[in-house]
Amino acid sequence: MHRLSRRSVNSLLRYGANLRRDAVSAAAASVSSPNFNQSGAERDANGRWYSVSATNSSLKLGNIIPSGKRFESTASDFRMPDAPVEKYEYQAEVSRLMDLIVNSLYSNKEVNASDALDKLRFLSVTEPQLLEGGSELDIRIQTDQENGIITLTDSGIGMTHQELVDSLGTIAHSGTAKFLKALKDSKDAGTDSNLIGQFGVGFYSAFLVADKVVVTTKSPKSDKQYVWEGEANSSSYIIREETDPEKFIPRGTSIQLHLKRDDKGFAHPERIERLVKNYSQFVSFPIYTWQEKGYTKEVEVDEDPAEAKKDGTDDNVEKKKKTKKVVEKYWDWELTNETQPIWLRNPKEVTTEEYNEFYKKTFNEYLEPLASSHFTTEGEVEFRSILYVPAITPMGKEDIVNPKTKNIRLYVKRVFISDDFDGELFPRYLSFVKGVVDSNDLPLNVSREILQESRIVRIMRKRLVRKAFDMILGISVSENREDYEKFWENFGKHLKLGCIEDRENHKRLAPLLRFFSSQSEEDMISLDEYVENMKPDQKDIYYIAADSVTSAKNTPFLERLYEKDLEVLFLVDPIDEVAVTNLKSYKEKNFVDISKEDLDMGDKNEEKEKEMKQEFGHICDWMKKRLGDKVASVQISNRLKTSPCVLVSGKFGWSANMERLMKAQSVGDSSSLDFMRSRRVFEINPEHPIIQTLNAACKSNGEDEEALRAIDLLYDTALISSGFTPESPSQLGGKIYEMMNMALSNKWSTEQPAFNMHSSQTQEAEIVAEPQPIPEAEVVEPVETTSQK
């Protein structure tokens, strides 16, 4: 392989550039030259000019040399002679294509004759003769459990021979869609249609459960009745004219499904009845199923002659004949679906009792709902819906972590589609809301899963969420305060979860939240009530997170706030702090954690702070030197009144409460918590006697051992009072025992053994007895007891 030098490559590039520049210059010169048509070109029959060359009949790349002569290229006007073109139709293996359609587009075997009835009803408006000679508009389903056959019959429009070929013989050809287009183009069409199948492949879903499908149809537009037969693994079908008078139908279509061996359970009458009630409960036409029924009657029982002789009765005496009750069984049609669904009625005409009864029946509830909302949405998307707020949470279910609650039933044109959604119609935190949604705009597509990706569904979700918030807000502002207390007890955590997951609806969620506070320890208050009670110069909303109301109200962080009569929210639920942190503010008031550094209560006095730092600055440095890396700094506190010290968290780290919760969830591995553990600031109260005593000790003798141990004990005590967990509880206990011994020694008795407790730096508090004149002391070891000396 030869490698070109850089100089050669540059030469070739310059050469190509010259060629292009010469070609452009030649084109410009030739166009502007008036004599070009006489010397360098020829005109064809259409008046177009072509460049010619008299010297070179064939050009080679090696002979192209740039020269001063310029010619015009007219290659764009040159036409090659037409080459023969062959056109082919796409070929497909029909049986394989059918298998793909049936098994790929449909995933549920339990999923419509309704369209045929609707078509007939629409056409009968202008052609009344179509209804002559036929029965009422209905659908009938009959099963043959022994042979595994299901027969579905409607008294609708039927199909002619050509319609049978077009609709069933052509995949993805929808007669319903064709009818809707004609209806739309018609000037007389002034009504909306609720036809369902518009994609032309729904019929083939029958092959999910059937090996063979037989369609018998009779159209009022034709005098003949035709039969269509197709099999699952066949690439062809047959159509024949029905000649058996016993199988004639006045009008409509009958579909006979010969079930597969594994799917013959669908032929059970009770299962058919259950499927109709689940999916087609609110279809606008009556659906009858062939059901076994029975009635009780009495029949005579023939008496045994031997038993009559034992009774010793006279044969001439007329005896009363014995009878027994038997159940006479028979088969008959039974209406399975109901009439107009409640959500299609005018809300003004529906009573509260009817709403509650529908709720109990649909969702198998025994308690009445707290609230309901019946509405119709119009505009870009039109749908009707009824939403309910349950009275209690489901027994034994954690719906807050499981969005698949089957609480929302989606209907399209009154046909049930699905109740299995994973947050498409409602977010997880509103999964407790129950209801039905019915839309005519949704694309009832070949696959129910496609609905989850629909843009219309996303629009519906926004409006449903908005209506749900309006319904909950109505409960919160109602005169009966107990209703919202009951709601909050059951579903308060769901709304707090919404503060974390749904930033777009923070303005709707925040007014619904409820918390205890320093001024309302018994009854929860709303954020609106807190803002109304704020002081005129108060800028922020204060809160403290703890594990209980008792812990929150006794925390040292509240001392100065109590004195100023500033209200503080108590966040006692584990999810509260995360929810409030995500809210950040409410009505332009920021949420402030009073357990974190740089607390601003609106009373800063820079001169006083400066004086305090000058007076107590040395003790802060002394304490920081003793505590080392345990704290980030030691500062003068503005939040303490009666406590000597407190340990506050960093501004951007975890609070003590959050650190405790995260440590409980770490499953024994606390190494990952070090990253988020905040810096700790040790704040002291300069007005407290202990701090003043230590200040004097710092000035007189900063290396005093007892003073240094007092600092350690202050820090450990502040850990507990501030909500943190001490690293060594046993070591802390030893320090407390030592201080108790110092305080109680020689207080009630004249003779007590003297204890030396300088083992505060060890993990266990060790007690060592010193020898006394009388009596002999007993030495106690930490693990085992020795014999007396």
Contact status, residue 42 vs residue 52, Cβ threshold 8 Å: yes
Sheet of 383-389, strands arranged across: 371-377, 383-389, 434-439, 408-412, 415-418
Is 158 labelled a binding residue? no
Residue 482: Cβ within 10 Å count: 8
Is 198 labelled a binding residue? yes
Nearest to 276 by CA among 292, 291, 287, 285: 287
Contact status, residue 625 vs residue 690, Cβ threshold 8 Å: no
Looking at residue 379, its amino acid is G
**Complete DSSP assignment for 192-209:** -------SS-GGGGGGGT
3-state SS, residue 307: helix
CA triplet 58, 61, 67: central angle to 5 degrees? Answer: 90
Q: Please give the DSSP secondary-structure letter assigned to residue 305.
A: H
The whole-angstrom separation of Cα 678 and Cα 16 is 68
The whole-angstrom separation of Cα 191 and Cα 170 is 29
The whole-angstrom separation of Cα 113 and Cα 152 is 8
Task: Extract the tokens encoding 729.
Answer: 């509880």
> First-to-last CA distance in the chain?
102
Is 199 labelled a binding residue? yes
Q: Please give the DSSP secondary-structure letter assigned to residue 321.
A: P
3-state SS, residue 458: helix
Is 112 labelled a binding residue? yes
- The CA–CA distances, whole Å, from 649 to 1, 161, 343, 517, 556 equal 72, 83, 54, 21, 14
**Complete DSSP assignment for 1-22:** -----HHHHHHHHHHHHHHHHH
Is 200 labelled a binding residue? yes
Is 578 labelled a binding residue? no
Q: Under 8 Å CB-to-CB from 77, ≥6 apart: which residues?
A: 48, 49, 50
Q: Under 8 Å CB-to-CB from 679, ≥6 apart: which residues?
A: 632, 649, 650, 653
Is 201 labelled a binding residue? yes
The whole-angstrom separation of Cα 513 and Cα 544 is 16
Q: 323: which strand partners?
A: 300
Nearest to 659 by CA among 606, 726, 591: 726
What's the per-residue H, E or C state across 553-612? Answer: HCCHHHHHHHHCCCCEEEECCCCHHHHHHHHCEECCEEEEECCECCCCCCCCCHHHHHHH
Nearest to 519 by CA among 578, 482, 568, 481: 568
Side-chain half-sphere exposure of 107, counting CA atoms within 13 A: 7
Task: Extract the tokens encoding 388.
Answer: 């309910």
Nearest to 108 by CA among 476, 506, 426, 417: 417
The whole-angstrom separation of Cα 345 and Cα 639 is 62
Q: Is the peptide bond before 775 cis (omega within 30 degrees of 0)?
A: yes
Task: Point out the annotated binding site for ATP.
Answer: 112, 154, 159, 174-175, 198-203, 253, 448
Task: Point out the annotated binding site.
Answer: 112, 154, 159, 174-175, 198-203, 253, 448
